[in-house]
Chains A and B, each alone.
Chain A
Amino acid sequence: MSLYKARVKAFEDLLGNDEISLEKLRKLCFNGSMIMWVLSLISCLQFSFAGIPDTNGFRSLCWKLLLGYLTPKRAEWSVLLKTKRDLYRQLINEMVIPPCSNNDNQCSDHPLSDGPESAWSTFFKDNEFLLQIDKDVRRLCPDISFFQQATEFPNLDIANSKGVRRLHTRVMPSILSSANVERKGLGLTKISLLTKRAPENYEAMEEGQEAHWEVVQRILFLYAKLNPGQGYVQGMNEIIGPIYYIFASDPIVDYREFAEADCFFCFTALMSEIRDFFIKTLDESEGGIKQKMTKLSILLKEKDLEVWNRLRDQELYPQYYSFRWLTLMLSQEFPLPDVCRIWDSVFADENRFKFLVDVCCAMIILLREQILENDFASNMKLLQNFPEIDINVLLTKAAAL
């Protein structure tokens, strides 16, 4: 049996149990190696950092389990999934579809009403952060075309609304200023009509269709509405991107169909662990981003004093590079498949974000020769544009720290 086949079988066996041991799953996902209890014949296999195999929707399922969305008991899943997906549907209908767009003519609320009860006043307030989400989802993972493609499972109420219920329609440049008057010289006036604004590739879809980026926009919008204290912060798009991508390309059609709802809950679960990174007022607090960056610095000092000294002498502070690394869980530093592979281990790590710090530290140490040689500017460039690397080498190094 090849190593790969054995790995697939290990996942198959474990995930096929009526009750999945989370402890075993964590170990398996963390490094993907064959652990003794799976194949007792092989007592100590080479530590192979292969992660979750890219097959059978394993990753999609394992992430749901590791993030606590699915419970270990398989028998509970169908009820649980139905409840959650129904809830999501309800939330979308109540909070995302704009007021009075359902064809009832008895709507008493009026867009110009500024009473605190007016759904419209909330509507206009929401548009402010919706605009930011709109900008960001249109530049999500631009190196793959996935997010610009149509989903197989659009929200038909929205996709068939002649654009009215699409979120981004709400933040199109104001309809009132759709004519632009330009004066040239004396008396010569040119009136030009506004053309559509969306960047070519992230155009909205035809009636009846929705692009994946529109779906992600909806999830982020709902999340921001449900978490008003936090709202939407740039970078959340980079966190949700890989999760949605994995769920929406699940080979199992049922999971694919409900990728949106499942992704919303998994994203919410993940954010509950890392949201402090996204809140400015918590920067200094325990669990805030500054403390994480300090942890990384302390670890580096302990593991490679020479490199640490070098960076300190150059006044190349950890926040210059590690703020983004940690906040986005490395999602902007590596190609998507590698990001997914890193996240397998990060999600499987019980003290989850300790391993993330280990990986960041390993990244620096792997570049030690260059760092010791380079000047400040070259080191900045190096750390901000991390070179291509064999992800297994990196993870093995991180685990060995």
Chain B
Amino acid sequence: MAKKTYDLLFKLLLIGDSGVGKTCILFRFSDDQFTSTFISTIGIDFKIKTVELRGKKIKLQIWDTAGQERFHTITTSYYRGSMGIMLVYDITNEKSFENIVKWLRNIDEHANEDVEKMILGNKCDMPDKRIVSQDRGEAIAREHGIRFMETSAKANVNIERAFCELAEAILDKTSGQNTTENAERVIVDHRGQDKQPAYKGCRCAVE
């Protein structure tokens, strides 16, 4: 038996319409690579990554789901055990943004009440093709009191940061020190445009 190499285990789930880049986000985070040639996810996929937060080794067990309606009966069974859910849309695809509401309803129906949520507007490396403005993303996040970030799996913008902030929010909750004030719940990030160095809030180590 392998000995326990982590202090905490967090289960995360990626959901959102088909083709918004869920698998690419996860691949960027777990393997620090990008490829545009992913085959479509059927059912569910799975990756592990260990991060270090406030001196604790946290093992992230991340489930990547198929986006299409057909797979919902299979994928919704994973909501229940998840401690954090990332809801992804594609900033170049209006429909995927409109469906955020539908996905949020799914979370309400199937996930634990206190699950930590985060909305990601992916593909922010494609300003020419942008259809959903950052303001609209921020607005919907504020309306539901959820964290929000624009990301790019391709250009590696905010990917690690998103996972670590979600993990941190779960950590706050599990250790009972809920220091996050409501006013700060919506975290608006403009680094995507400014090309600042990657987020250094947590140390990530590939398992």
Other-chain residue from B70, B127, B129 in contact with A280 (beta carbon distance below 8 A): B70
A377, B2: Cα distance in complex, Å: 11
Is the C-beta of A305 less than 8 angstroms from some C-beta in chain B?
A: no
| Interface of B toward A, CB cutoff 8 Å | 1-2, 18-19, 36-40, 42-46, 48, 59, 61, 66, 68-74, 77, 92, 127-131, 207
* Contacts known (A194-B129, A377-B61, A380-B46); A319 close to B39, Cβ less than 8 A: no
Which chain A residues border B38 with CB–CB below 8 Å?
Answer: 139, 142
* Contacts known (A142-B37, A192-B128, A194-B129); A278 close to B70, Cβ less than 8 A: yes
Which chain B residues border A280 with CB–CB below 8 Å?
Answer: 69-73
Query: Does the CB pair B39–A132 fall under 8 Å?
Result: no
User: Which residues 200-234 in A have Cβ within 8 Å of B in the complex?
Assistant: 200-201, 233-234
Other-chain residue from B36, B37, B40, B127 in contact with A192 (beta carbon distance below 8 A): B127
Can you list 5 residue pairs at the A/B interface with Cβ under 8 Å? Answer: A194-B129, A195-B128, A323-B44, A327-B42, A384-B46
| Interface of A toward B, CB cutoff 8 Å | 132, 135-136, 139-142, 173, 177, 180, 182, 192-195, 197, 199-201, 233-235, 237-238, 278-280, 283, 319-320, 323-324, 327-328, 332, 374-375, 377-378, 380-381, 384
A140, B39: Cα distance in complex, Å: 7
Query: Does the CB pair B68–A233 fall under 8 Å?
Result: yes
Which chain B residues border A279 with CB–CB below 8 Å?
Answer: 70
Query: Does the CB pair B48–A381 fall under 8 Å?
Result: yes
Q: How far is the CB of A281 from chain B (nearest CB, A)?
A: 9
Query: Does the CB pair A234–B68 fall under 8 Å?
Result: yes
Other than the known A135-B18, A140-B39, A195-B129, what 20 A-B pairs have Cβ atoms closer than 8 Å? A132-B68, A135-B19, A135-B40, A142-B37, A142-B38, A173-B131, A180-B128, A180-B130, A193-B128, A199-B37, A233-B70, A234-B18, A234-B42, A234-B68, A234-B71, A279-B70, A320-B46, A323-B44, A332-B42, A384-B45
Which chain A residues border B61 with CB–CB below 8 Å?
Answer: 377
Query: Does the CB pair A323–B129 fall under 8 Å?
Result: no
A180, B94: Cα distance in complex, Å: 14
Query: Does the CB pair A136–B40 fall under 8 Å?
Result: yes
Q: How far is the CB of B101 from chain A (nearest CB, A)?
A: 18
Query: Does the CB pair B129–A235 fall under 8 Å?
Result: no
Query: Does the CB pair B129–A332 fall under 8 Å?
Result: no
* Contacts known (A234-B18, A332-B42, A375-B2); A197 close to B129, Cβ less than 8 A: yes
Query: Does the CB pair A323–B42 fall under 8 Å?
Result: yes
Please give me the residue from chain B that is nearest to A375 by CB atom: B2
Query: Does the CB pair B44–A320 fall under 8 Å?
Result: yes
Q: How far is the CB of B165 from chain A (nearest CB, A)?
A: 23
Which chain B residues border A139 with CB–CB below 8 Å?
Answer: 37-40
Query: Does the CB pair B70–A199 fall under 8 Å?
Result: no
Query: Does the CB pair A319–B43 fall under 8 Å?
Result: yes
Other-chain residue from B70, B74, B127 in contact with A182 (beta carbon distance below 8 A): B127
A180, B128: Cα distance in complex, Å: 7
Which chain B residues border A283 with CB–CB below 8 Å?
Answer: 73-74
Which chain B residues border A378 with CB–CB below 8 Å?
Answer: 2
Please give me the residue from chain B that is nearest to A201 by CB atom: B37
Q: How far is the CB of A233 from chain B (nearest CB, A)?
A: 5
Which chain A residues border B77 with CB–CB below 8 Å?
Answer: 319
Please give me the residue from chain A that is nearest to B37 by CB atom: A142
Query: Does the CB pair B42–A328 fall under 8 Å?
Result: yes
A136, B43: Cα distance in complex, Å: 15
Which chain A residues border B71 with CB–CB below 8 Å?
Answer: 234, 280
Which chain B residues border A173 with CB–CB below 8 Å?
Answer: 92, 129, 131
Other-chain residue from A132, A141, A194, A380 in contact with B18 (beta carbon distance below 8 A): A132
Query: Does the CB pair A142–B39 fall under 8 Å?
Result: yes
Query: Does the CB pair B72–A234 fall under 8 Å?
Result: no
A332, B40: Cα distance in complex, Å: 10
Which chain B residues border A375 with CB–CB below 8 Å?
Answer: 1-2
A283, B76: Cα distance in complex, Å: 13
A324, B129: Cα distance in complex, Å: 33
Which chain A residues border B18 with CB–CB below 8 Å?
Answer: 132, 135, 234
* Contacts known (A201-B37, A233-B68, A234-B66); A194 close to B128, Cβ less than 8 A: yes
Please give me the residue from chain B that is nearest to A193 by CB atom: B128
Which chain A residues border B44 with CB–CB below 8 Å?
Answer: 319-320, 323
Which chain A residues border B36 with CB–CB below 8 Å?
Answer: 199-200
Which chain A residues border B207 with CB–CB below 8 Å?
Answer: 377
Other-chain residue from B40, B59, B131 in contact with A234 (beta carbon distance below 8 A): B40
A327, B19: Cα distance in complex, Å: 20
Please give me the residue from chain A that is nearest to B44 by CB atom: A320
Other-chain residue from A182, A235, A278, A320 in contact with B40 (beta carbon distance below 8 A): A235
A385, B79: Cα distance in complex, Å: 23
Which chain B residues border A199 with CB–CB below 8 Å?
Answer: 36-37
Q: How far is the CB of A48 from chain B (nearest CB, A)?
A: 32
A280, B128: Cα distance in complex, Å: 37
Q: How far is the CB of B18 from chain A (nearest CB, A)?
A: 6
Please give me the residue from chain A that is nearest to B2 by CB atom: A375
Which chain A residues border B70 with CB–CB below 8 Å?
Answer: 233-234, 278-280
Q: How far is the CB of B90 from chain A (nearest CB, A)?
A: 11
